[in-house]
Amino acid sequence: MKNQLGKRAAASVLALLTVLLNAAACGDTSGGDTQTTTSSGGTETSAPITEDTAEKVEIPDVKYDGYEFRVMGVTESTMLQANEIAVESETGETLNDAVFARNRMVEEKLGVKITYIPETGDNIILSIGKSVLAGDDDYDAAIDHTDHISSGIINNYLVPISEIPYIDVEKSWWNTDLIESAAINGKPYFLMGDISYSWKNATWALCFNKRLYADYDLEEPYAMVRDGKWTLEMLESHCRDITKDLNGDSKLDKEDQWGLLSSKTAGIGLVTSTGITTITTAKDGSLEYALESERNVNVLEAIRKFISNNDLQLRAEDITGSSNIWTDIINIFRDGRALYRITVLGDVVGLRDMNDDFGIFPLPKYDEEQDSYYTTVQAWNIGAYIITASATNLDRTGTILEYMGSVSKDTITKAYYDVTLNGKVARDDESSEMLDIIFNSAMTTDVGLAFNIGDVTNTLKTMINSDTDNIASTLASSKDSTIAAIQKFEESVK
């Protein structure tokens, strides 16, 4: 399944990266004068909208007479999530202005006003639940982290995307891979794609210091990735060679040089990159517990030995005497005292003023026999669009979101790739190529990690960061509760 999904992702991202069109003004393309009143609450002509792009957006040609389209999302700009839609004016900043242009295109074409309703992240699903239970039509859609929305699925607060008219997740402006690989009983519950960029910011990646690569005469890095030789074992061997007590105080801390900078959550990125899936989807759409296979146990043990080895890498949470461990971990890499850092692409933007040249890699495979590099996102930092069950007009919601996604392709995504990453962050053609590999690889969502079913994310974090070999015993003790959580999840969407 992953290979098939990866092929669709490759085609989609290549199209995005090569697009040369400017965002076109969106005028009315009505093909005639005959109008009818539609179930979506607007006025429609008999001909569907056809946009001047390589791919057609198939929605009714309709105006909603100033309807306020209400989207709830986080108050804080976690991974820039709020800024993906809550933009009031142009500022000269490329992404901000791209969002502003996208919003205006949607508003002018469909006759709507996009309104952002801020809410603290932990309360978004709670607010949706109150609205649904009270029978109130408070929101048309919401943006939330996927690990928050499982309770919304279980309690039927959300509408499956497959039940929303006019949304076609096979279109190139949607990330089909991430959407469909997290479907429950064949029903996807969130949208990601060109409509937003927080999922790109939350994509796992690895930065490396080019000067240290040269100083230690390490093999040509990009060829290693291209040839499929970038593995967990290779990463570990490089870290062993680089870590050094710079100040001679006989201890390794934030003042020294490190092979790798990471965190206690970095192991979750390695879980996916090494080909582990916590919960798989069977052909009939049902979910199956998958963690205790022999390969998964062996790979998890290899990750545990590596990520818990404090002589090879420094985890942010292990820094002492710090007022901000995350600032410290970034500064260590920026100061040129680490070969690698496991991070997400949103943090790479902060390195644009780094003196040493740096490059970008995908996270490693487990071994050379692994069929692909696998890429995923931090479920606790992405912004996924969800549709509330209290929304009274799904035709209208589907029309607006589908159009919003389609015009985001040549506005938001073009700005993100061409300027924010390829223009401001990636310092060479090879790093841009590595970004292609990251997004073109088997881009997938692990259902268990996406929705944190049975608290599987924290179970993995505990195992991976342990100083003792507890993989098999922990999996055995947590298996029954995880399977019960899977069954509860499935029963809610039958």
Nearest one of 296, 358, 302, 344 to 197, comparing CA atoms:
344
- Sequence-distant (6+) residues with CB within 8 A of 69 are 112, 113, 114, 115, 140, 141, 400
Does residue 169 sit in the same domain as residue 87?
A: yes
Q: What is the pLDDT of residue 54?
A: 63
Does residue 191 sit in the same domain as residue 43?
A: yes
Q: What is the pLDDT of residue 276?
A: 93
Does residue 236 sit in the same domain as residue 361?
A: yes
Domain that holds residue 211: 204-373+452-491
Does residue 181 sit in the same domain as residue 267?
A: no
Please write the tens of the pLDDT for every residue from 221-239.
Answer: 889 999 999 999 999 999 9
- Sequence-distant (6+) residues with CB within 8 A of 382 are 79, 145, 146, 192, 198, 199, 202
Share of the chain above pLDDT 90, in %: 52
Q: What is the pLDDT of residue 42?
A: 55
Does residue 238 sit in the same domain as residue 290?
A: yes
Task: Indicate whether 238 belongs to any domain.
Answer: yes
State how far the Cα of 403 lies from the Cα of 193, in Å rounded to an integer: 12
Nearest one of 178, 175, 174, 198 to 401, comparing CA atoms:
174
What does the block give as tokens for 335? 């100061």
Task: Indicate whether 307 belongs to any domain.
Answer: yes
Q: What is the pLDDT of residue 29?
A: 34
pLDDT exceeds cutoff 80 at 104: yes
**H or E stretch at 156:** none
Does residue 281 sit in the same domain as residue 169?
A: no
pLDDT exceeds cutoff 60 at 135: yes
Does residue 256 sit in the same domain as residue 192?
A: no
Does residue 288 sit in the same domain as residue 144?
A: no
- For the chain, the residue count is 494
Average pLDDT, the chain: 84
119-139 average pLDDT score: 91
Alpha-carbon separation of residue 90 from 36, 301, 457 (angstroms) = 36, 50, 39
Q: Which of 27-31, 53-57, 124-128 has the highest mean predicted lDDT (pLDDT)?
A: 124-128
CA torsion through residues 88, 89, 95, 101, sign: positive
103-118 average pLDDT score: 96
pLDDT exceeds cutoff 90 at 40: no
pLDDT exceeds cutoff 90 at 332: yes
- Burial group, residue 355, by CB count within 10 angstroms (0-12, 13-18, 19+): exposed
Q: What is the pLDDT of residue 492?
A: 81
What does the block give as tokens for 265? 């959550």
Q: What is the pLDDT of residue 177?
A: 84
Task: Indicate whether 433 belongs to any domain.
Answer: no
Domain of residue 405, CATH code: 3.40.190.10
State how far the Cα of 226 lies from the Cα of 424, in Å rounded to an integer: 24
Q: Which of 9-18, 21-30, 69-78, 471-480 has the highest mean predicted lDDT (pLDDT)?
A: 471-480
Task: Indicate whether 153 belongs to any domain.
Answer: yes
pLDDT exceeds cutoff 80 at 32: no
pLDDT exceeds cutoff 80 at 494: no
Does residue 99 sit in the same domain as residue 110?
A: yes
The total domain count for the chain is 2
Q: What is the pLDDT of residue 493?
A: 80
Confidence band, pLDDT 50/70/90 cuts, at residue 23: very low
Residue scoring higher pLDDT (268 or 36): 268
208-229 average pLDDT score: 91
Does residue 89 sit in the same domain as residue 224?
A: no
Alpha helices (runs of H) in 314-446, residue ranges in sequence order? 325-334, 345-348, 394-408, 414-415, 429-440
pLDDT exceeds cutoff 90 at 483: yes
Q: What is the pLDDT of residue 348?
A: 82
462-486 average pLDDT score: 91
Please write the tens of the pLDDT for every residue from 377-411.
Answer: 888 888 899 999 999 999 999 999 999 999 999 99
Task: Indicate whether 430 belongs to any domain.
Answer: no
Task: Indicate whether 426 belongs to any domain.
Answer: no
What does the block give as tokens for 232? 């967990």
277-294 average pLDDT score: 88
- Sequence-distant (6+) residues with CB within 8 A of 293 are none
pLDDT exceeds cutoff 90 at 160: yes
Q: What is the pLDDT of residue 209?
A: 94
Task: Indicate whether 173 belongs to any domain.
Answer: yes
**H or E stretch at 370:** none
Q: Among the listed ranges 31-35, 207-211, 304-308, which one has the minimum average pLDDT value?
A: 31-35
Residue scoring higher pLDDT (3 or 241): 241
State how far the Cα of 263 lies from the Cα of 314, in Å rounded to an integer: 8
Alpha helices (runs of H) in 227-324, residue ranges in sequence order? 232-242, 266-273, 294-307
State how far the Cα of 310 lies from the Cα of 239, in Å rounded to an integer: 11
- The count of C-alpha atoms lying within 13 angstroms of the C-alpha of 232, restricted to the half-sphere facing its C-beta, is 24
CB atoms within 10 A of CB 17: 18
Does residue 399 sit in the same domain as residue 312?
A: no
Task: Indicate whether 427 belongs to any domain.
Answer: no
pLDDT exceeds cutoff 80 at 461: yes
- Burial group, residue 197, by CB count within 10 angstroms (0-12, 13-18, 19+): buried
pLDDT exceeds cutoff 90 at 340: yes
- Burial group, residue 182, by CB count within 10 angstroms (0-12, 13-18, 19+): buried
State how far the Cα of 257 lies from the Cα of 143, in Å rounded to an integer: 40
Does residue 223 sit in the same domain as residue 265?
A: yes
Confidence band, pLDDT 50/70/90 cuts, at residue 46: very low
